[in-house]
Amino acid sequence: RDTSVPGRRGYPGYMYTDLSTIYERAGRVVGRNGSITQLPILTMPNDDITHPIPDLTGYITEGQIYLDRQLHTKGIFPPINVLPSLSRLMKSAIGEGMTRSDHGAV
């Protein structure tokens, strides 16, 4: 019998730790310096961005690009929905000397 404390929607409370361990391990090469860019690709049950797996992945990774099925159906390519997409590094990568002055409004 599983005695672990349930988290959101019945997923185990340790799901965040397990996911972060998997993502962090994917970029590590023993004895070598450097880094790797990882692009985890997830499908969400019923396109639910609040589902625990994509939601926790958003906390672990530095950002998310939300590809929208409805935009794809309308023939909009790439079908990126910018409102639910996020970037934790945006404030470090835009501004004077890095982007045009009108970038924030674009």
- The dihedral formed by the CA atoms of 64, 78, 94 and 28, expressed in degrees to the nearest 10: 40
Cβ partners under 8 Å of residue 89, min gap 6: 62, 63
Structure-token pair, residue 58: 């958003």
Whether 88 is catalytic is yes
Phi-psi region of 20 (alpha: psi -120 to 50; beta: other; left: phi over 0): alpha
Catalytic residue among 25, 32, 88, 100: 88
Amino acid at 45: P
Catalytic site residues? 88
